[in-house]
Amino acid sequence: MNPFQGVIPAITTPFLPDGGVDHATLAAHARWLLAAGCTGLVPLGSLGEGATLAWEEKLAVIRTCVQAAEGRPVLPGIAALATAEAAALARAAQAAGAQGLMVLPPYVYLGDWAELQAHLDAVFTATPLPCLLYNNPVAYKVDVLPEQIAELAAKYPNLLAVKESSTDARRIAGIRALIGDRLSLGVGVDDCLMEATVMGASFWIAGLVNAFPRESVELFNLTRAGKLDQAFRLYAWFLPLLRLDTVPKFVQLIKLVQQELGWGHERVRAPRAVLVGAEREAALALLRQALAARP
C-alpha cells in the first residue's frame, strides 16, 4: 500500500516552557488534523524542527504520532549528518511504529551523485518500509534531477514517491515524462500547490495545514477533482498565508499562526527564536486580514 496520498501535514513539534517536547499537545494536534481529513502525518521534518531533537526525542515524537494516528500513516523525516546514523534512524523509526519514511539527503556535506546515491542506498535498504525521497535544493543545497530520480526508481522497489520542493513548477511534469506513474509525486512548497497538483501531484506535504486543515484539504480535493474555478478562489484567499511556508523563518511564522488559532504555542527550539517587534506584528496583521476574509 502506498501511504503517500492526500494532504499530509509536516506536523510541528510543540515545546513546553522548559524546552521539552509537549507530547499532550502533539497528540491532540495530530488527532485534530486527521479528523479534518488529513491522510497521515510527517513528523521530524524541517517544520517539525527534527534537526534540533535528540535521538530519544525523535523516537518519542514518532511513538506519540503513531498512537494518535490510530492506524493512519506516520512517515517521519530521516535526516542526519552521517549515513550510518540516518540508516539507524530509519530502523528505529520502523521499530517505533512508522509506516513509511521521508528520506532527506545528508545534512551539511554536499557530495557528488555517487556519494548521494550511497547515502540513499543505505537508508532505502535499511528497512522494507515505503520511502519518499524529499528533494529540497533550496534548503539542503542538493538537487536530485528527474534523470537521477528515474535511476533511483528503477533500483529501489520501496521508493514509492517524491516530495518535490525545488519551487520549479516544471519538475512534476519532467519527472512524469521519464517515469510515468512509477512514483507518486507530491508537492512540498505550499504556494505551488495548485500548479503541481494540476500537473499530476497526488499528495501535498503541507505547512499551513497545521493551522488550517479544513481549508487545505478542501483546496487539494477541489484541485484534484478538476474544479479549478472553485479551487482558485480558495487558493487566492489562502496564498498570502501559504507564502509564510517559503521564507527562512517559516517555522516561527507557522507556529505563531497556530498559536493565534488555539493550536499549539509559538515556542521554538534554539537557534531559532520567536518573532518579535515589527516582524511579528506584520505576520499577525496578515493573519487578521486573512481571517476577516475567510471563505
List of domains in the chain: 6-235 (3.20.20.70)
- What is the pLDDT at residue 110? 86
Number of Cβ within a 10 Å radius of residue 194: 23
Active site residues: 134, 163
Going by their DSSP bridges, the two strands 101-103 and 77-78 should be labelled as parallel
Containing H/E element for 77? strand 77-78
The tens place of each residue's pLDDT in the chain, 295 residues long, gives 899 999 999 999 999 999 999 999 999 999 999 999 999 999 999 999 999 999 999 999 999 999 999 999 999 999 999 999 999 999 999 999 999 999 999 988 888 999 999 999 999 999 999 999 999 888 888 899 999 999 999 999 999 999 999 888 889 999 999 999 999 999 999 999 999 999 999 999 999 999 999 999 999 999 999 999 999 999 999 999 999 999 999 999 999 999 999 999 999 999 999 999 999 999 999 999 999 999 8
pLDDT digits (tens, 9 = 90+) for 155-212: 999 999 999 998 888 899 999 999 999 999 999 999 999 999 999 999 999 999 999 9
Helix axes 83-95, 55-69, angle to 10 degrees: 30
How far is 40 from 10, CA to CA, in rounded Å? 9
Angle formed by the axes of helices 113-124 and 146-155, nearest 10°: 40
